[in-house]
Chain A
Amino acid sequence: MDLDTQVKLVIYWNTAERGEPPVIGEVAKHVGRPVEQVRESYGRLARNRLLVLEPDGETIRMAPPFSGVPTQHRVTAAGVSYYANCAWDALGIPAALNRPAEVVSRCEQSKEALRLTVGLDGPEPSSWLFHCEVPAAKWWKDIVFT
């Protein structure tokens, strides 16, 4: 398995296990490579849109669907709590984990709380809606805003 795949899996598996992304030193230890090589791998993974990094090049802001920073979209599965980057990613976390989950978020206009049970086959019937103002062709122009 190539280094980038190893690094990606260590990041995602660790995040899935404990709810937040690992620090780069932990990843380097797992893959048995120097931190500098892992940092270069982070850069390639970011260019392939599998990670979004902070300006330091080693702190993970997003490992989509997981968020490295607190957001309004909270997901709990198998006793582990996660932050999702957006409404899409709030459903993306149970999809990635292949586990039932509870999603807690809100209506952006009324601030009414959303509590959604998601099973292995998807969310319970719900009349809530998803809205994205950025067209698909522009999503990665500013993914944090999107």
Chain B
Amino acid sequence: MLFFRSEELIDQWCSSKGRPRRPSVRLDQLWQMAVTWYGTRLRADSRRPGPGEMRGIFESIGLHGDFWDPQADTFG
């Protein structure tokens, strides 16, 4: 889970490392993920989102497809 300056640099990194190119995420979307996962982490009643919630959270910020599905079996 890494930062990149541009789409082209992600392409270069994936190509040079032989790693799969995945969908990129904008930092405003990443902030929504951060708040959802960690916004209550320092509280007694915090908990991690379940698989169904995770799917809903990703879809609500525009991240669709099996890559973001915690129960997908597409990737072996």
Which A residues contact B (CB, under 8 angstroms)?
1, 5, 9, 12-13, 16, 48-50, 64-65, 86-98, 105-110, 112, 114, 116, 118, 122-123, 126-139, 146
Partner of A95 from the list B38, B48, B58 (CB cut-off 8 Å) is B38
Q: How far is the CB of B2 from chain A (nearest CB, A)?
A: 4
Given contacts A92-B37, A105-B3, 17 further A-B contacts (CB under 8 A): A12-B41, A64-B41, A89-B38, A95-B39, A97-B42, A107-B4, A107-B9, A108-B3, A110-B9, A114-B5, A128-B27, A129-B4, A130-B29, A132-B22, A133-B20, A134-B1, A137-B74
* Chain B residues closer than 8 Å to A135, beta-carbon distance: 22, 66-69, 72, 74-75
* Chain B residues closer than 8 Å to A122, beta-carbon distance: 27-28, 31, 35
B45 (CB) vs chain A CBs: closest residue: A5
Which B residues contact A (CB, under 8 angstroms)?
1-7, 9-10, 12-14, 16, 19-20, 22, 24-31, 33-35, 37-39, 41-42, 44, 48, 54, 58, 66-75
Contact B2 A87 (CB under 8 A): yes
User: Complex Cα distance A129/B37, Å?
Assistant: 19
B16 (CB) vs chain A CBs: closest residue: A109
* Chain B residues closer than 8 Å to A1, beta-carbon distance: 44
Contact A65 B34 (CB under 8 A): yes
Contact B75 A95 (CB under 8 A): no
A and B contact pairs by CB, cutoff 8 A, 20 listed: A5-B44, A12-B41, A13-B42, A65-B34, A87-B2, A87-B3, A95-B38, A109-B12, A123-B27, A127-B6, A128-B4, A129-B7, A129-B26, A130-B25, A130-B29, A131-B24, A135-B66, A136-B54, A136-B69, A136-B72
User: Complex Cα distance A91/B4, Å?
Assistant: 15
User: Complex Cα distance A138/B70, Å?
Assistant: 8
User: Complex Cα distance A8/B9, Å?
Assistant: 38
Known: A109-B13, A130-B27, A136-B69. A65 touches B4 (CB 8 A): no
B71 (CB) vs chain A CBs: closest residue: A137
Contact B27 A131 (CB under 8 A): no
Contact A126 B27 (CB under 8 A): yes
Q: How far is the CB of A133 from chain B (nearest CB, A)?
A: 5
